[in-house]
Amino acid sequence: MKSVFNLEIICEERRYEFLTQYMEAVIIIIFVVGYLAITLEHSIKIDKLIPALVMMAISWALISLGIDGFSQWFDSAKQGLVEGYDAVTHEGRLHLLEETLLHHLGKTAEILVFLLGAMTIVEIIDYFDGFSSIKSIIKTKKKTNILWIFAFLAFGLSAIIDNLTATIVLISILQKIIKDRNVRIWFAGLIIISANAGGAFSPIGDVTTTMLWIGNKVSTVKLFEYLFFPSLLCMLVPVTIATFLPAFKGYIEADKTDNDKPKSKFSTTMLLLGLGAIVSVPVFKVITHLPPYVGMMLALGVVAIFAEVYSNSKFSLTEFGEEESDAHANHSPVHHSLSKIELPSILFFLGILMAVAALESLGLLFGFASTLQDATPMIGTEMAGTQVSDLVVLLLGVGSAVIDNVPLVAASLGMFTESLDNQLWHFIAYSAGTGGSMLIIGSAAGVVAMGMEKISFFWYIKKISWLALVGFLAGAGAFLVTRTLF
C-alpha cells in the first residue's frame, strides 16, 4: 500500500513538472488562438472583446499555476530580466507575480482612463454640435480634396494631442461629413496611417515615443530632426497612391438632413474649448510630471463644467432618488456623453494589452527580440554606427503590427544600451510608431477606429495594409538616407 502511495506521489510530481515545463508553449498557443479569434470576429460572429478577455484571464491563471516552472521573469519596471530568479522561493515568485500584474494593470488603466476622458470630451463636443463648425469650413465635396485635408489634419494633430485622440476627433468629424459608412471607412484607414505617422516624430504623439522620451533615450529636438521627414513621407506616399484608387474618385453626396437640425449657439465655443483642453494635456504633463491621464481628467472636468452651465441643467453623480437621477441623465450632457462611449473597445484594450503583458512577463518578447538580433545580418552597421542590425529594427516595426508596439519597445529598452539620441533609438521610434498601421489592431489609433466604424480586420488587410506597408518602407528608406546628415 505504501509503495502504491509513493507511486501516486511520484506520478503527481512528474505530471506537475510536465505541465510547468510546457506551460510557456500552452500560453503562446492560447494567445495565438485568441488572436485568430479576434481576426475572425466577423466570420465566427463573436465580438473581439470576448477572446481578448478570455485569453488574458487564462494566460495569467496559467502563469500563477505554473509559477515554479518558469526559468526567467521580465521586470517591466526595470526593463530587464530578474537576476537570480531561479533561487527565488515559491512565496517570492507569487509576490513578484502580484507586483507585475499590478504594474501592468496600472499602465493599462492609464491608457484606458486617458481614452475614456478623450472620448467623453469628444462626445460632449458632439452633444453641442461642435463638429459642425469644422464641417462648415470644409466646403469641398471632392473626395480627394477631403482625403488630403483629413490626412494633414491627422498628421498635425497627432503630434500635438497624440495619435489616439486625433483619430477619435477626426473620425467623429468624418461621421458628420460622410454619411455612407462604406465610403467613410476608406478615409478612416488613411487617417490611421496619417495619425500614426504624425505621432512618430513627437515625444507626446505616441505612447512608444513617450516611453523612449521618458526613458532618456531620445530628445525632442533630435527626434524631430531625425523623424519629421521620414514620418511625412510615410504619410504622403500612401495618401498620394490612394488618390488614384476608385474609392476616392468623384464627390460625396450632400446630406440634406443636417440642414433641418438646429445648431447650438455654443457649438463653436465647445469645439474650441474641448480641443484646447485636450491640447493642454501634454503641457500639464510637462509642468507637473504627472501621467497624461491626470491632465485628461482635469481637462474633462473643465469641459464638463462649461457643458453643464451651457445646458442649464442640474447634474448629480449620486443615485439617490431614481426618478431624479433619470431626469438628470436625460438632460445632462456629461451623462449623455458617457452613455455613448464605446465600452466594448475599452474592454478590448484591457484584454489585449494584459494578454500581451503576460507574454512580456515571462520574458518571451525579450527573448524573441534577442533571437532576432542574433539571427539577422548586420545591415548598415557602419553607416549607423551601431551594433544592431537595421533589419532587426524593421522586423520590430512589423512585429508591432502583429503584437503591440508598447511591449516591443519595452523589450528594446532592456536589450540595448546605446546612449541618448543614438540613431538606433530614433529608428526604433519610427518603426514602432508607424509599423502598427499595417494591421488595424496594431496600434491604438487602429483599435479605436475599428470600434468607432466597425471596420473588419480582413477588409483592412485587403484594402489598407498594403498602403501602410508602402508608406512604412518609404519612410524607413528616407531615415536610412537622412540619418547620415545628423
Burial of residue 91 (number of CB atoms within 10 Å: 0-12, 13-18, 19+) = exposed
The number of angstroms, rounded, from the C-alpha of 159 to the middle of its chain's C-alpha atoms is 15
Which pLDDT tens digit goes with each residue over 326-377?
Answer: 444 456 888 888 887 777 778 887 888 788 888 888 887 777 666 666 666 5
Cβ atoms of 48 and 348 closer than 8 Å:
yes
Identify the pLDDT of residue 420.
79
CA–CA distance, 323 with 63 (Å, rounded to integer): 47
**Which amino acid makes up residue 213?**
W
Instruction: Name residue, grid cell 518578447.
Output: 365
**Domain residue spans of the chain:** 16-93, 105-485
CA-based end-to-end distance of the chain: 78
Q: pLDDT in tens for each of the 486 residues of the chain?
A: 555 555 555 555 555 555 555 788 888 899 889 888 877 776 777 877 888 899 999 999 998 888 877 878 887 777 677 877 888 888 888 888 888 899 888 888 887 888 788 888 888 888 887 877 777 777 778 889 999 999 999 998 888 777 887 888 888 888 888 888 888 999 999 999 999 999 888 887 887 787 787 667 888 788 888 899 999 999 999 999 999 999 888 888 766 555 545 467 788 888 889 888 887 887 887 788 888 889 889 999 999 999 888 886 444 444 444 444 444 445 688 888 888 777 777 888 788 878 888 888 888 777 766 666 666 654 443 333 444 567 878 888 888 887 667 667 766 766 676 777 788 888 989 998 899 899 887 887 888 888 788 888 889 999 999 999 999 999 999 998 887 776
CA angle 61, 67, 70 (to 5 degrees): 120
Cβ atoms of 456 and 42 closer than 8 Å:
yes
- CA neighbours closer than 13 Å in the CB half-sphere of residue 25: 5
Across 148-263, the runs of DSSP E, i.e. the strands, are none
Identify the pLDDT of residue 213.
79
Cβ atoms of 471 and 234 closer than 8 Å:
yes
CA–CA distance, 428 with 383 (Å, rounded to integer): 16
Element (DSSP H or E) covering residue 425:
helix 423-435
Across 4-98, the runs of DSSP E, i.e. the strands, are 74-75, 80-81
> C-alpha grid cell for residue 370?
534577442
